[in-house]
Amino acid sequence: MTKETISRNELFQNLNFKTIADDKDFKEDSVREVIILPILNALGYSGVNIVRSKSLIHPFLKTGSTRRKVTLVPDYILKVEDNFAWVLDAKEPNQKIVNDDNVEQVYSYAMHPEIRSTYMSLCNGVEFSLYRTNDYDTPILFFQVDDIETHWNELKMYLAPNSFQTGKSISYEPSVPYGKTKDGFDYASRPLLEEIVGKKRAARRHFGVHGYFTKQTWNVVAEYIKNYSKPGDLVLDPFGGSGVTAIEAMMNNRKAISIDLNPMPVFIVQSLIAPVKQDEFGKAFEEVKNEYPRSA
Protein backbone atom coordinates (compact mmCIF):
# COMPACT_ATOMS: atom_id res chain seq x y z
CA MET A 1 0.00 0.00 0.00
CA THR A 2 1.20 3.52 -0.82
CA LYS A 3 2.41 5.51 2.16
CA GLU A 4 0.35 8.67 2.72
CA THR A 5 3.35 10.58 4.04
CA ILE A 6 7.04 9.82 4.01
CA SER A 7 10.17 11.02 5.72
CA ARG A 8 13.65 10.98 4.28
CA ASN A 9 15.03 9.09 7.24
CA GLU A 10 12.26 6.49 7.00
CA LEU A 11 13.32 5.77 3.44
CA PHE A 12 17.09 6.07 3.62
CA GLN A 13 18.12 5.60 7.29
CA ASN A 14 20.06 8.85 7.86
CA LEU A 15 21.95 8.58 4.56
CA ASN A 16 24.20 11.60 4.02
CA PHE A 17 23.42 12.76 0.48
CA LYS A 18 26.25 15.28 0.50
CA THR A 19 28.80 12.47 0.40
CA ILE A 20 27.17 10.34 -2.34
CA ALA A 21 28.55 12.25 -5.31
CA ASP A 22 32.11 12.00 -3.98
CA ASP A 23 31.88 8.38 -2.88
CA LYS A 24 33.63 6.30 -5.58
CA ASP A 25 32.06 3.13 -4.19
CA PHE A 26 28.49 4.48 -4.47
CA LYS A 27 27.75 3.38 -8.03
CA GLU A 28 24.70 2.37 -10.02
CA ASP A 29 24.05 -0.78 -8.03
CA SER A 30 24.06 1.27 -4.82
CA VAL A 31 21.56 3.69 -6.36
CA ARG A 32 19.29 0.74 -7.12
CA GLU A 33 19.40 -0.87 -3.71
CA VAL A 34 19.81 2.12 -1.37
CA ILE A 35 17.70 4.77 -3.15
CA ILE A 36 15.36 3.33 -5.77
CA LEU A 37 14.10 0.17 -4.09
CA PRO A 38 12.91 1.96 -0.92
CA ILE A 39 11.08 4.53 -3.08
CA LEU A 40 9.35 1.80 -5.10
CA ASN A 41 8.31 -0.08 -1.98
CA ALA A 42 6.94 3.10 -0.40
CA LEU A 43 4.96 3.86 -3.57
CA GLY A 44 3.33 0.44 -3.26
CA TYR A 45 5.37 -1.78 -5.60
CA SER A 46 6.81 -5.13 -4.58
CA GLY A 47 7.41 -8.68 -5.78
CA VAL A 48 6.16 -9.44 -9.30
CA ASN A 49 5.20 -5.79 -9.85
CA ILE A 50 8.88 -4.84 -10.06
CA VAL A 51 10.44 -6.30 -13.20
CA ARG A 52 14.24 -6.09 -13.14
CA SER A 53 16.50 -6.09 -16.21
CA LYS A 54 13.98 -7.38 -18.75
CA SER A 55 15.60 -7.94 -22.18
CA LEU A 56 13.89 -6.14 -25.06
CA ILE A 57 14.86 -6.70 -28.68
CA HIS A 58 15.05 -3.40 -30.49
CA PRO A 59 12.71 -3.64 -33.52
CA PHE A 60 14.03 -0.79 -35.64
CA LEU A 61 17.78 -0.99 -36.17
CA LYS A 62 18.95 -2.21 -39.59
CA THR A 63 22.12 -2.03 -41.64
CA GLY A 64 20.88 -1.89 -45.20
CA SER A 65 18.37 -4.74 -45.47
CA THR A 66 19.99 -6.68 -42.63
CA ARG A 67 18.31 -6.45 -39.25
CA ARG A 68 20.74 -5.88 -36.39
CA LYS A 69 19.90 -7.58 -33.14
CA VAL A 70 20.17 -4.98 -30.40
CA THR A 71 19.04 -5.81 -26.89
CA LEU A 72 17.65 -3.11 -24.57
CA VAL A 73 17.71 -3.76 -20.83
CA PRO A 74 15.85 -1.25 -18.63
CA ASP A 75 16.70 -1.40 -14.94
CA TYR A 76 13.07 -1.41 -13.79
CA ILE A 77 9.69 -1.84 -15.44
CA LEU A 78 6.81 -1.33 -13.01
CA LYS A 79 3.60 -3.28 -13.47
CA VAL A 80 0.05 -2.47 -12.43
CA GLU A 81 -2.47 -5.32 -12.70
CA ASP A 82 -0.17 -7.23 -15.05
CA ASN A 83 0.29 -4.22 -17.37
CA PHE A 84 3.54 -2.32 -17.80
CA ALA A 85 2.88 1.13 -16.32
CA TRP A 86 6.22 2.99 -16.31
CA VAL A 87 9.96 2.50 -16.59
CA LEU A 88 12.77 3.64 -14.32
CA ASP A 89 16.48 3.65 -15.05
CA ALA A 90 19.26 3.99 -12.47
CA LYS A 91 22.40 6.03 -13.12
CA GLU A 92 25.53 6.77 -11.15
CA PRO A 93 25.54 10.04 -9.16
CA ASN A 94 27.80 11.75 -11.71
CA GLN A 95 25.42 10.98 -14.58
CA LYS A 96 22.93 13.57 -15.91
CA ILE A 97 19.23 12.76 -15.94
CA VAL A 98 17.97 15.91 -17.71
CA ASN A 99 18.85 17.07 -21.24
CA ASP A 100 21.18 14.16 -21.86
CA ASP A 101 21.52 10.97 -23.89
CA ASN A 102 20.42 9.08 -20.78
CA VAL A 103 16.92 10.50 -21.28
CA GLU A 104 16.82 9.26 -24.86
CA GLN A 105 17.97 5.86 -23.67
CA VAL A 106 15.11 5.44 -21.21
CA TYR A 107 12.73 6.79 -23.87
CA SER A 108 13.74 3.86 -26.11
CA TYR A 109 12.66 1.54 -23.30
CA ALA A 110 9.36 3.28 -22.65
CA MET A 111 8.39 3.35 -26.35
CA HIS A 112 9.29 -0.27 -27.04
CA PRO A 113 6.30 -2.21 -28.49
CA GLU A 114 6.31 -4.54 -25.48
CA ILE A 115 6.13 -1.63 -23.04
CA ARG A 116 4.39 1.49 -24.41
CA SER A 117 4.36 3.20 -21.01
CA THR A 118 2.95 6.64 -20.24
CA TYR A 119 5.76 7.67 -17.90
CA MET A 120 9.52 7.21 -17.79
CA SER A 121 11.93 8.25 -15.08
CA LEU A 122 15.59 8.35 -14.09
CA CYS A 123 17.37 8.48 -10.75
CA ASN A 124 21.09 8.98 -10.13
CA GLY A 125 20.83 8.72 -6.36
CA VAL A 126 21.02 12.47 -5.94
CA GLU A 127 18.26 13.59 -8.33
CA PHE A 128 15.00 12.13 -9.62
CA SER A 129 13.36 13.10 -12.92
CA LEU A 130 10.01 12.05 -14.35
CA TYR A 131 8.81 12.52 -17.92
CA ARG A 132 5.73 11.86 -19.97
CA THR A 133 6.78 9.60 -22.81
CA ASN A 134 5.10 11.79 -25.44
CA ASP A 135 7.11 14.83 -24.35
CA TYR A 136 10.52 13.97 -22.92
CA ASP A 137 12.24 17.33 -23.53
CA THR A 138 11.20 18.71 -20.14
CA PRO A 139 10.53 16.67 -16.99
CA ILE A 140 7.10 17.01 -15.41
CA LEU A 141 8.73 16.42 -12.03
CA PHE A 142 12.34 16.97 -10.97
CA PHE A 143 13.71 17.10 -7.44
CA GLN A 144 16.68 16.40 -5.23
CA VAL A 145 16.24 13.02 -3.56
CA ASP A 146 17.36 14.64 -0.30
CA ASP A 147 14.14 16.72 -0.55
CA ILE A 148 11.78 13.84 -1.42
CA GLU A 149 9.43 14.68 1.47
CA THR A 150 8.43 17.92 -0.24
CA HIS A 151 7.62 16.16 -3.53
CA TRP A 152 6.21 12.90 -2.24
CA ASN A 153 2.52 13.66 -2.80
CA GLU A 154 3.17 14.73 -6.37
CA LEU A 155 5.34 11.68 -7.05
CA LYS A 156 2.65 9.46 -5.59
CA MET A 157 -0.03 11.17 -7.69
CA TYR A 158 1.83 10.25 -10.89
CA LEU A 159 3.33 6.85 -10.08
CA ALA A 160 1.47 5.06 -7.29
CA PRO A 161 -0.29 1.91 -8.56
CA ASN A 162 -3.73 3.30 -7.77
CA SER A 163 -3.02 6.35 -9.95
CA PHE A 164 -3.21 4.24 -13.11
CA GLN A 165 -6.55 3.45 -14.74
CA THR A 166 -6.75 -0.29 -15.32
CA GLY A 167 -9.35 -2.96 -15.76
CA LYS A 168 -11.81 -0.79 -17.66
CA SER A 169 -13.58 -2.23 -20.69
CA ILE A 170 -15.03 0.31 -23.10
CA SER A 171 -17.15 -0.58 -26.11
CA TYR A 172 -18.52 1.76 -28.74
CA GLU A 173 -21.88 1.17 -30.43
CA PRO A 174 -22.11 3.19 -33.65
CA SER A 175 -25.49 4.84 -34.13
CA VAL A 176 -25.28 4.43 -37.91
CA PRO A 177 -23.63 1.81 -40.16
CA TYR A 178 -19.88 2.23 -40.66
CA GLY A 179 -19.06 4.92 -43.22
CA LYS A 180 -22.61 6.26 -43.44
CA THR A 181 -23.81 9.50 -41.88
CA LYS A 182 -27.28 10.21 -40.56
CA ASP A 183 -28.19 12.21 -43.66
CA GLY A 184 -27.41 9.21 -45.88
CA PHE A 185 -23.95 10.24 -47.15
CA ASP A 186 -22.04 6.97 -47.45
CA TYR A 187 -18.24 7.43 -47.42
CA ALA A 188 -17.67 3.73 -48.07
CA SER A 189 -19.59 3.52 -51.37
CA ARG A 190 -19.10 6.81 -53.17
CA PRO A 191 -19.24 6.39 -56.98
CA LEU A 192 -16.10 6.58 -59.09
CA LEU A 193 -15.76 9.75 -61.14
CA GLU A 194 -15.70 9.87 -64.91
CA GLU A 195 -12.62 11.31 -66.63
CA ILE A 196 -12.10 14.93 -65.64
CA VAL A 197 -10.53 17.32 -68.11
CA GLY A 198 -7.89 19.40 -66.44
CA LYS A 199 -8.35 23.17 -66.46
CA LYS A 200 -5.71 25.82 -66.56
CA ARG A 201 -5.01 27.50 -63.29
CA ALA A 202 -7.69 29.88 -62.12
CA ALA A 203 -6.56 33.20 -60.68
CA ARG A 204 -8.83 32.91 -57.66
CA ARG A 205 -7.11 29.62 -56.76
CA HIS A 206 -3.83 31.48 -56.08
CA PHE A 207 -1.62 28.87 -57.76
CA GLY A 208 -0.16 31.35 -60.24
CA VAL A 209 2.21 32.80 -57.64
CA HIS A 210 4.70 29.94 -57.78
CA GLY A 211 5.98 27.15 -60.02
CA TYR A 212 6.21 24.24 -57.58
CA PHE A 213 7.18 21.15 -59.56
CA THR A 214 4.51 18.68 -58.36
CA LYS A 215 1.54 21.00 -58.58
CA GLN A 216 -1.67 19.05 -59.29
CA THR A 217 -4.52 20.17 -61.58
CA TRP A 218 -6.76 22.15 -59.28
CA ASN A 219 -10.18 21.25 -60.70
CA VAL A 220 -9.46 17.49 -60.66
CA VAL A 221 -8.51 17.70 -56.98
CA ALA A 222 -11.60 19.81 -56.27
CA GLU A 223 -13.98 17.31 -57.89
CA TYR A 224 -12.55 14.43 -55.88
CA ILE A 225 -12.88 16.41 -52.67
CA LYS A 226 -16.52 17.25 -53.44
CA ASN A 227 -17.30 13.64 -54.36
CA TYR A 228 -15.67 11.90 -51.39
CA SER A 229 -16.42 14.37 -48.61
CA LYS A 230 -19.13 16.67 -47.33
CA PRO A 231 -19.03 20.41 -46.55
CA GLY A 232 -17.52 20.84 -43.11
CA ASP A 233 -15.45 17.63 -43.32
CA LEU A 234 -11.73 17.52 -42.58
CA VAL A 235 -9.49 16.67 -45.55
CA LEU A 236 -5.97 15.35 -44.88
CA ASP A 237 -3.08 15.41 -47.36
CA PRO A 238 -0.03 13.81 -45.68
CA PHE A 239 2.17 14.68 -48.70
CA GLY A 240 0.78 18.15 -49.17
CA GLY A 241 3.37 19.70 -51.51
CA SER A 242 2.34 23.18 -52.60
CA GLY A 243 -1.06 22.84 -50.95
CA VAL A 244 -3.46 22.32 -53.85
CA THR A 245 -5.49 19.82 -51.82
CA ALA A 246 -5.65 22.08 -48.77
CA ILE A 247 -6.64 25.15 -50.75
CA GLU A 248 -9.28 23.31 -52.78
CA ALA A 249 -10.69 21.85 -49.59
CA MET A 250 -11.06 25.31 -48.09
CA MET A 251 -12.44 26.76 -51.33
CA ASN A 252 -15.15 24.09 -51.17
CA ASN A 253 -16.12 24.67 -47.55
CA ARG A 254 -14.00 21.91 -45.99
CA LYS A 255 -11.29 22.05 -43.35
CA ALA A 256 -7.80 20.88 -44.25
CA ILE A 257 -4.58 19.48 -42.82
CA SER A 258 -1.56 19.66 -45.14
CA ILE A 259 1.72 17.93 -44.14
CA ASP A 260 5.09 18.04 -45.89
CA LEU A 261 8.71 17.51 -44.81
CA ASN A 262 10.05 20.14 -47.20
CA PRO A 263 10.11 23.62 -45.61
CA MET A 264 9.56 25.30 -49.00
CA PRO A 265 6.02 23.98 -49.64
CA VAL A 266 5.21 24.52 -45.96
CA PHE A 267 6.16 28.19 -46.43
CA ILE A 268 4.15 28.40 -49.66
CA VAL A 269 1.00 27.00 -48.07
CA GLN A 270 1.30 29.17 -44.97
CA SER A 271 1.72 32.22 -47.20
CA LEU A 272 -1.26 31.34 -49.40
CA ILE A 273 -3.67 30.81 -46.53
CA ALA A 274 -2.49 33.71 -44.37
CA PRO A 275 -5.46 36.00 -43.58
CA VAL A 276 -5.29 39.43 -45.19
CA LYS A 277 -6.92 42.54 -43.77
CA GLN A 278 -8.16 44.59 -46.70
CA ASP A 279 -7.60 47.99 -45.09
CA GLU A 280 -4.02 47.16 -44.08
CA PHE A 281 -3.33 45.71 -47.52
CA GLY A 282 -4.70 48.88 -49.16
CA LYS A 283 -2.51 51.11 -47.02
CA ALA A 284 0.58 49.03 -47.81
CA PHE A 285 -0.22 49.19 -51.52
CA GLU A 286 -0.55 52.98 -51.42
CA GLU A 287 2.79 53.30 -49.60
CA VAL A 288 4.55 51.21 -52.25
CA LYS A 289 2.79 53.04 -55.09
CA ASN A 290 3.77 56.47 -53.72
CA GLU A 291 7.33 55.42 -53.00
CA TYR A 292 7.94 53.98 -56.47
CA PRO A 293 7.93 57.34 -58.41
CA ARG A 294 10.31 58.88 -55.90
CA SER A 295 12.84 56.04 -56.23
CA ALA A 296 12.58 55.66 -60.01
Tens of pLDDT along the chain (296 residues) come to 666 778 888 999 888 888 887 888 899 999 999 999 999 999 999 988 999 988 877 655 555 566 666 678 899 999 998 888 999 999 999 999 998 899 999 998 898 888 888 899 999 999 999 999 988 889 999 999 999 999 999 999 999 998 886 544 444 444 445 566 767 788 888 888 888 888 776 555 566 566 676 777 888 999 999 999 999 999 999 999 888 899 899 999 999 999 999 998 888 888 888 888 888 889 988 999 888 877 76
Q: Which residues are within 8 A (CB) of 2 and not within 5 positions of it... i.e. 6 or more apart?
A: 42, 43, 44, 156, 160, 161, 162
Residue 107 to residue 123: CA distance in whole angstroms: 14
Domain boundary among 142, 163, 184: 163
Answer yes or no: do 135 and 216 share one domain.
no
Say how many residues make up the chain: 296
Answer yes or no: do 252 and 108 share one domain.
no
Answer yes or no: do 134 and 240 share one domain.
no
Answer yes or no: do 67 and 114 share one domain.
yes
Answer yes or no: do 133 and 240 share one domain.
no
Residue 125: give the domain boundaries.
Answer: 8-163
Q: Is the dihedral of CA 273, 278, 280, 281 positive or negative?
A: positive
Between helix 263-273 and helix 244-251 the angle, nearest 10°, is 20
Answer yes or no: do 21 and 158 share one domain.
yes
Domain boundary among 163, 181, 214: 163
Answer yes or no: do 147 and 216 share one domain.
no
Answer yes or no: do 139 and 207 share one domain.
no
Element (H, E) at 40: helix 37-43
Q: How many domains does the chain have?
A: 2
Asked, for residue 16, whether it belongs to a domain, the answer is yes
* Residue pLDDT, tens place only, 7-60: 888 999 888 888 887 888 899 999 999 999 999 999 999 988 999 988 877 655
Evaluate whether 254 touches 231 at the Cβ level (below 8 Å). Answer: yes
Answer yes or no: do 149 and 202 share one domain.
no
